[in-house]
Amino acid sequence: MPKQNLVIIGAGMASGRALEELLALAPDAYNVTLFNAEPRGNYNRIMLSPVLSGEKTYEDIVTHTAEWYEENGVTCRFGEKIASVDRARKVVISETGEEVPYDKLMFGTGSNPFIIPLPGHDLEGVIAYRDLEDTNTMIALGEKPGAKAVVIGGGLLGLEAAAGLALRGVDVTVVHIMGHLMERQLDEAAGYLLRKALVDKGIKVMCSANSKEILGENGRVKALLLDDGTELPCDLLVMAVGIRPNIALAKEAGLMVGRGIHVDDQMITSDEDILAVGECVEHDGAIFGLVAPLYDQAKVLARTLVGEEAKFVQKELSTKLKVTGCDLFSAGDFAEGEGREDIVLRDPARGVYRRLVIEKGKIVGAVMYGDTADSNWFFGLIKDGEDITEMRETLIFGPAYQGGEPLDPMAAVAALPDDAEICGCNGISKGDIVAAIKAGAHDLGAVRATTKASASCGTCTGLVEQVLGVTLGDDFVIPAAQGMCGCTDLSHEDVRRMIKSQELKSQQAVWQACGWKTVNGCHVCRPAVNYYLLADWPLEYQDDPQSRFVNERNHANIQKDGTYSVVPRMWGGITTPDELRAIADAADKYNVPTVKVTGGQRIDLLGVKKEDLPAMWYDLNQAGLVSGHAYSKGLRTVKTCVGKDHCRFGTQDSTGLGIKLEKLLWGSWTPHKVKLGVSGCPRNCAEATCKDVGIICVDSGFEVSVAGAAGMDVKETELLAKVATEEEAIALTTAFIQIYRENAKYLDRGYKWVAKVGLDWVKAQIVEDLKTRAALVERFEISQSIYRKDPWAEQATPDYREKKWNPIADLTLEAAE
Amino acid sequence: MSWIDIGNIEDIPVRGARVLKTRMGCVAVFRTSEAEVFAVDDTCPHKQGPLSEGIVHGKAVTCPLHNWVFSLETGMAQGADEGSIATYPTMVENGRILISADALQSRVAAE
């Protein structure tokens, strides 16, 4: 049978998924031609928020690459718009007048953002939040110092736009016409908590606010005027008030349309050779904006195209907000009504709010804020219409309290039906994952690769692992690495997020808020938590020596025989005869058996007895030497070459720059040790290109590169940026160290961390975004006002010696005999 | 049983330790977050790490050299490691730490 021609209009998420399903079912059934008005293929539109906030790049969210289309024999006509459809002749006609015949035609035209026709809505700088162009416009705004934005619309989209803009350093005001945020998904109380969380993030929120006019100047937006006379100045106005199905072409072609293109259960329009899928359709009176039903439709449509029976059924939907630190969940119907009862749980101290709406012994709606861990379970009860009368008393506390015994999480996953959605970003159901596992995907990576589940935002990773566990039984061990340690199941990243978003400022607060399973942690988590707290709250948190590894507590490296090594700082590798004499004297006086030059251009005095440390430090301090922090997860050395003063190839004052950097950065604690190198020319005598930060001075300026290593792994640095002045090189270095301090997992070296977040993200933050760079430098300085100090000087005092370094008692001469 | 007064509980940092020098080497005296005091051998049986320099958590200490964890109550190594350290009875009275003289004595005798 000759191949039929399938023409697809629109390369969005729904049409992309339909195409995938079709190719999986019958790769050779059709010649496919894909038209798209946007000059690109399919990307994951719901991941635009992480792109805006900087957690992802555009490349991360592309779902189908050019190669993918080519491999699958799809003819792509990107950037070409279809002008009309001639149903009688079964051809589509492009804007250039070209005609392409079809046997089957598929509409995936999606929707258009709704622009309120306020006066001034056509000014430059008024945008919707819909596609990559809009996202890029918002990202660009973040680079403008002091930029202001107004977002009209306090729904899902508007808040994600506002949160992303705020993260980019933009001063944002959200203007919402209703009395509380996300009124379609949340009740007032949850809306209040959400508002509070956003305000804490520096976003201004105005509810019950009526926009009257957009004011402009020279054709560009200048401010939003509210009907009470308030004027909100802005450089950008984002209108995120909703979307409307894009039906113009279908309507013009004479298809039956209402709010969307009418389709039946098989996704067929009023013309039996024309199908439609996604946001452009209207099915049984409903239109669609969330991803799950779109993917269901895509599946049905593909089956219809190959002549298989399938039927699209609308299901209950749930919503989550992709804003870091705002955990909220909403599903079902929570309006008050006759015969409806509420169960409400409030825990203001934890910022937790849960509300269940019960009708005739069943949950019909659920709103959760602050703690959404049980949301899947509640959602399951809603979807299945389960009778909850028996567990009503403890229902609000979640599955762990049912039946008196904590529920085995595996049992909960085992009980999920096959169509339960596991990965919201990619619309992957439990059944899809189980099928992939049975086909051989036996670990998380393989499941990600074959189904895309957990490959986008990653919040469902735990669930996917549980599905693996349930399906494979004993053959699968859920990786223990994901929790910090045995004291908590939370990952390092989760704990850092909690510390920031909930403003946890003490170890006790972390243990409490994160549900630590031990009284006061262990040797794995305590140093990490101590670090996170002092990095995030340098002014408020009091460093805890008892949560530090012995080296840091004693400010010297412990050796295998229990002695210590002492390394004084030599700024940028420069020393003086006086300093050398003091070091030699100390070596004599304290019987140092080994004196060694380290790899970082310093002198190591090895084999010092613990009780001698404070006295030795005192002597070294007297000669002007301070602790080299050779023992710390902090700034170690700045290695230099001799630079232009002596070297015939040297450019710039590379040694001077090394000294400046070391004096600026010393004493700062970091997730792991940090080493720098500054070379005066590309001959690179300071070996700068295998350091955490390496600077190569050249005639025209400074090449700043990062993420190198010469330890367990050997890795060359990658270029961050080339800058003209020493000031910029210093600011970039400081900003890089601070962004690493604020984001990396404890004990991840810089190169490991950069590999996780991507160098592009780092560049976007500190090379392109001058405002963010300046803010990072400022926060580093604030921290340094506390931590740029010499621990030797502090501990060499008599009082300290008595309390810390001497034995509590000496019984060698008495008693025990 | 006779007791020796070795100092004030405030002399030891919370979740920290100080050493007690004896003729037969050092004893590590720990103070937990619950204001309990424990005394054990200062030396890890694995590679002689100084346990008084370890991180104290719950009623356990982690050796600073290779992360062996010992119960301060029983002296037994926790988890997969095997071995134990001697423990010495202590009590706290009016803020003073008292350690069993008999136990210290028998330590001398045993070695």
Complex confidence, ipTM: 0.90
Contacts of B13 in chain A (CB under 8 A): 545-546
Q: Do B55 and A520 touch (CB under 8 A)?
A: no
Single-letter code of the amino acid located at A161: A
Q: Do B53 and A560 touch (CB under 8 A)?
A: no
Contacts of A486 in chain B (CB under 8 A): none
Q: Do A558 and B64 touch (CB under 8 A)?
A: yes
A86 beta partners: A91
Measuring CA to CA, which residue among A362, A374, A292, A299 is closest to residue A329?
Answer: A374
Which pair of tokens denotes residue A662? 């070391």
* Nearest neighbour of A808 by CB, restricted to B20, B49, B67: B20
Measuring CA to CA, which residue among A111, A427, A109, A105 is closest to residue A268?
Answer: A105
Residue B11: what are its φ and ψ, rounded to 5°?
Answer: -75, -15
Burial of A217 per CB tally in 10 Å (0-12, 13-18, 19+): exposed
Cα A562 to its chain centre, rounded Å, is 42
Cβ atoms of A446 and A473 within 8 Å: the answer is: no
What is the number of other CB atoms lying within 10 angstroms of the CB of residue B76?
A: 15
Q: Is A530's Cβ below 8 Å from some Cβ in B?
A: no
Q: What is the pLDDT of residue A816?
A: 43
Measured in angstroms, the CA of B26 and the nearest CA of chain A are apart by 9
Measured in angstroms, the CA of A559 and the nearest CA of chain B are apart by 9
Residues 6+ apart with CB under 8 A from A188: A179, A180
* Nearest neighbour of B21 by CB, restricted to A522, A610, A810: A810
Contacts of B26 in chain A (CB under 8 A): 807
Q: Is B18's Cβ below 8 Å from some Cβ in A?
A: yes
In chain A, which among 487-526 make CB contacts under 8 A with chain B?
518-523, 526
Contacts of B34 in chain A (CB under 8 A): 519
Measured in angstroms, the CA of A544 and the nearest CA of chain B are apart by 10
Q: What is the pLDDT of residue A242?
A: 84
**Which chain B residue shows the shortest CA-CA distance from A521?**
B57
- How many contacts (CB atoms, under 8 Å) link A and B? 100
Q: Do A546 and B13 touch (CB under 8 A)?
A: yes
Q: Do A558 and B53 touch (CB under 8 A)?
A: yes
Measured in angstroms, the CA of A809 and the nearest CA of chain B are apart by 5
- Angstrom distance (rounded) from CA B85 to CA B75: 5
- Angstrom distance (rounded) from CA A291 to CA A428: 10
What is the number of other CB atoms lying within 10 angstroms of the CB of residue A594?
A: 11
Q: Is B11's Cβ below 8 Å from some Cβ in A?
A: yes
Q: Is B22's Cβ below 8 Å from some Cβ in A?
A: yes
Cβ atoms of A133 and A174 within 8 Å: the answer is: no
**Which chain A residue shows the shortest CA-CA distance from B59?**
A519
Q: Do A522 and B12 touch (CB under 8 A)?
A: no
Q: Is B9's Cβ below 8 Å from some Cβ in A?
A: no
Q: Is A550's Cβ below 8 Å from some Cβ in B?
A: yes
* Span A569-598, pLDDT tens digits: 999 999 999 999 999 999 999 999 999 999
Spans of chain A, pLDDT less than 70: 1, 322-325, 336, 348-349, 400-412, 424-425, 455-459, 477-482, 813-817
Burial of A64 per CB tally in 10 Å (0-12, 13-18, 19+): buried
* Span B9-60, pLDDT tens digits: 989 999 999 999 988 889 999 999 888 999 999 999 988 999 999 999 999 9
Measured in angstroms, the CA of B35 and the nearest CA of chain A are apart by 13
Q: Say whether pTM exceeds 0.90.
A: no
Cα A277 to its chain centre, rounded Å, is 31
